[in-house]
Amino acid sequence: TIQRSYVLQLLYQPEYAFEKLTPEESQCLFEQYPFFKELYDSIQTFKKML
């Protein structure tokens, strides 16, 4: 499971925190909290626009 402190870090520093996740952790996170999948996709889309 994903630690609560890490979830809070994702909320406050998502771009930095996502980079530290392994693919397995990402999958677990996205299944547990679908919201973060949307957030991650939004960050990636935004980065492409810059």
Distance CA(18)–CA(16), nearest Å, equals 6
More confident residue, 22 or 5: 22
- Give the chain's domain count: 1
pTM: 0.66
Determine the Cα–Cα distance for residues 15 and 6; give it in Å rounded to an integer.
13
Domain of residue 26, residue span: 4-49
In this predicted model, what pLDDT tens digit does every residue of 15-48 receive, in sequence order?
778 888 889 999 998 999 999 999 899 988 988 9
- The encoded tokens of residue 26 equal 């990402």
Q: Is 36 exposed, middle or buried (0-12, 13-18, 19+ CB in 10 A)?
A: buried
